[in-house]
Amino acid sequence: MPDDVTSRSSFSDLFDAGTIGSEIIPPDEVSATRTAARLLTEDIGFSRQRARILNQEYDELHHRSHFAEWRAMTADRGRASMTEMLSELAELGFAWRDIARLVGVSVAAVQKWRRGEKAAGDSRRKLASLLAACDLVAEHYEVREVASWFEMPLVGEAPVTPIDLYVEERADLVFDYASGHADPERILSDFDPQWRERYRTDFEVFRASDDQLSIRPKAQ
């Protein structure tokens, strides 16, 4: 959405003036405090679709917000049943405990849903949102193996994964990371400015002679 949109008159075919009557006078323009932040509020008579008709340059100036797309895809995905959605996530290879975390419920709740118990409306939407986010990541950014991508750390030295970003309501960073354009370390710093200190460690995991994973101090 452009930051500043003024529309004058209701007779232009660029705007949806509603059912045309003769000489309908539009209401006065209402004063608005402008922000640099991008607002997504809709105004009657000027929808995003019409913005495209209005101006081809529009899309060049403002890439379509992933969040607008995420929202639309969530609505789409939400038409399926809980069990269908859970099945799809299982097909992708997600762990049930990660699905529970991503949706913000206990593992037991997910197990109940799998057995056919009803879920609250909010949970349905969150599940649909998760699937939609997977769609976005897979389709737009051609991330293959979406479930695997979600559970792998962005950077070797820190255990932070896209799951952690998503759970902390930083889906913007998830989409950023998926785009492949952003530097993973910058994304991590955005998420947690202290990450380097927080995950600095004197220990490492290695495979011992008995073939088991073990812990030892790092070589100096």
Partner 1 sequence: MVHNLEAPCDSDSIDWSRLYRARGDEVVSHRPYFTGDVFERVEVQNPDGSTKRKNVIIVQHPCAMRTNGVDLVPKLLVAELRNHRVLSPEEWTGYTKNMPLPDLIPSVASGRRSQAAFFDELYLVAPERLASRIACLSQLGVNLLLQRWVSHNSRVVIPTSTYNKATSGVYEESDLIEEWCEELLPAGILPEKATVECMTWLREDVGGVTRQRMLEDEQHRSEIRRQMRSAIRSLADIAGDLG
Partner 2 sequence: MYPNAPVVLVALELRHPSAEPLSRAAQVKIKQLLAKRLPLPRKATMTSIQATLGVAQPEVTTETAPQYVSRDRTTAVTFRSAAVIVETTRYGRYERFRDVVALAIEARQTIEPVVGIERLGLRYINEIRVPDVGDTLASWEPWVDRTLLGPVSVVDRLGLTAAQLQGVVMLDRDAGKSIVLRYGPRGGYAVDPEGDLKRPAPTPGPFFLLDIDSFWAPTDDIPELNPEELLTLGDDLHEPVRTLFESLITERLRKEVLRHAG
Q: Which is closer to partner 2, CB of 41 or CB of 212? A: 41
Find, among 157, 156, 163, 165, the residue nearest to 191 by Cα: 165
152 binds, among partner 2, partner 1, none (CB under 5 to 8 A by kind): partner 1
Find, among 117, 134, 133, the residue nearest to 81 by Cα: 117
The footprint of partner 2 on this chain (CB under 8 A) covers a number of residues equal to 58
Choice from 25, 37, 108, 205 touching partner 2 (CB under 8 A): 37
CB 167, min distance to partner 1, A:
11
Choice from 16, 24, 39, 106 touching partner 2 (CB under 8 A): 39
Could you say whether residue 19 binds partner 2 (CB under 8 A)? no
Q: Which is closer to partner 1, CB of 44 or CB of 215? A: 215
Could you say whether residue 108 binds partner 1 (CB under 8 A)? yes
Q: Which is closer to partner 1, CB of 69 or CB of 88? A: 88
26 binds, among partner 1, partner 2, none (CB under 5 to 8 A by kind): none
Q: How far apart are CA 73 and CA 130, in angstroms?
A: 10
Q: Which residues, in sequence order, are CB contacts of 102 under 8 Å at separation 6+?
A: 94, 126, 130, 163, 166, 167
Contact status, residue 99 vs residue 110, Cβ threshold 8 Å: yes
Q: What are phi and psi of 189, to 5 degrees?
A: -65, -35
Helix (H) or strand (E) holding 204: strand 203-207
Helix (H) or strand (E) holding 215: strand 213-217
Could you say whether residue 177 binds partner 1 (CB under 8 A)? no
Choice from 18, 24, 40, 140 touching partner 2 (CB under 8 A): 40
Choice from 15, 94, 113, 166 touching partner 1 (CB under 8 A): 94
